Amino acid sequence: MDNSQMKRGIVIKDDWPGYSLDLFTYPEHYHEDIESVYIPHGVIMNRTERLARYIMDDFGDSNIMVLCVLKGGYKFCADLVEFIKVLGCNSSRYLETRVEFIRLKSYLNDQSTEDLHIVGSRDLSFLRGKSVLIVEAIVDTGKTMKALLQHVETFEPKMVKVAGLLVKRVPNMAESLTDYVGFEIPNRFVVGYALDYNEYFRDLNHICVISKTGKMKYKV
């Protein structure tokens, strides 16, 4: 596989049912609310470490301004930055990272709503001339990401790359927007590793498929 293909993510096929819950540990209170373990935490971590290496290679000697998209991106971002730090300590090139947070909201229940709200964004003018890495948990249609990229570009950064832990195979998927993809997944609603369903399931380490019971229980 060439390098650009590897950055496109590990492809999870449509018929992948996930692992049986009995094979892993998870918080007992979610017992009835999840159907299967879709991506185990350890696999997420290994893939994230690999993405950190691609990022180190591409950013060269420029320091990285990390823009973490909250709330879903917080775990991926924290782990990714940690791996970039460790890799730097173990080589002669240490990339300085600075992390800023931006909050977007576009989902209610498991449906995307039309409008994008940038909720927690202060002035981003410090991005001018900098190498920026946007870190997002999940990219599907790319509408949110496109809007965010446009917003970031107005501050004239030197370069902008996007790391997405998950890219969803939806009609008109925005593949080319995400430079570093962890996993390409089918069009299913997943939770865990900071991904939520109405604010629930962020405290689950694995990425899991929510059950019918879970969807009903936490519906708003």
Cβ of residue 30: shortest distance to ligand HPA, in angstroms?
A: 15
Q: From CA 10, how far away is CA 151, in angstroms rounded?
A: 29
Torsion-angle region of residue 201: left (phi > 0), alpha (psi -120 to 50) or beta? left
One residue of 107, 155, 189, 200 binding Mg ion per CB under 5 A: 107
196 binding Mg ion? (CB under 5 A): yes
Does 49 bind Mg ion (CB under 5 A)? Our answer is no
**Residue placing its CB nearer to ligand HPA in the complex, 88 or 186:** 186
In the numeric block, the tokens 């990714």 are attached to: 80
DSSP letter for each residue of 160-182: EEEEEEEEE--TT--GGG-SEEE
Burial of 150 (0-12, 13-18, 19+ CB in 10 A): exposed
Q: Which residue is it, tokens 């373990």?
A: 37
Q: Is 110 in the site for Mg ion (CB under 5 A)?
A: no
Does position 138 interact with ligand HPA (CB under 6 A)? The reply is: yes
The size of the interface with ligand HPA (CB under 6 A), counted in residues, is 9
Q: How far is the CB of 200 from Mg ion (least distance, A)?
A: 10
Size of the residue set binding Mg ion (CB under 5 A): 2
The Cα 123–Cα 155 span in angstroms is 9
41-59 helix and 74-89 helix, angle to the nearest 10 degrees: 60
User: Is 140 a binder of ligand HPA (CB under 6 A)?
Assistant: yes
Residue 95 interacting entry, from Mg ion, ligand HPA, none, C-beta within 5 to 8 Å by type: none
CA dist 178 and 182 (Å) reads: 10
107 near ligand HPA, rule: CB under 6 A: yes
Please indicate whether residue 140 is annotated as part of the active site: yes
Q: 140 contacts which partner out of Mg ion, ligand HPA, none, CB within 5 to 8 A by kind?
A: ligand HPA
The reply on whether position 189 binds ligand HPA by CB under 6 A is: yes
Rounded Cα distance between 153 and 151, Å, is 6
Single residue of 34, 167, 195, 208 touching ligand HPA by CB under 6 A: 195
Catalytic residue among 140, 179, 196, 203: 140
d(CA 133, CA 60) in angstroms, rounded, equals 13
Active site residues: 140
Which stretches of the chain bind ligand HPA, using CB under 6 A? 72, 107, 138, 140, 189-191, 195-196
Which stretches of the chain bind Mg ion, using CB under 5 A? 107, 196
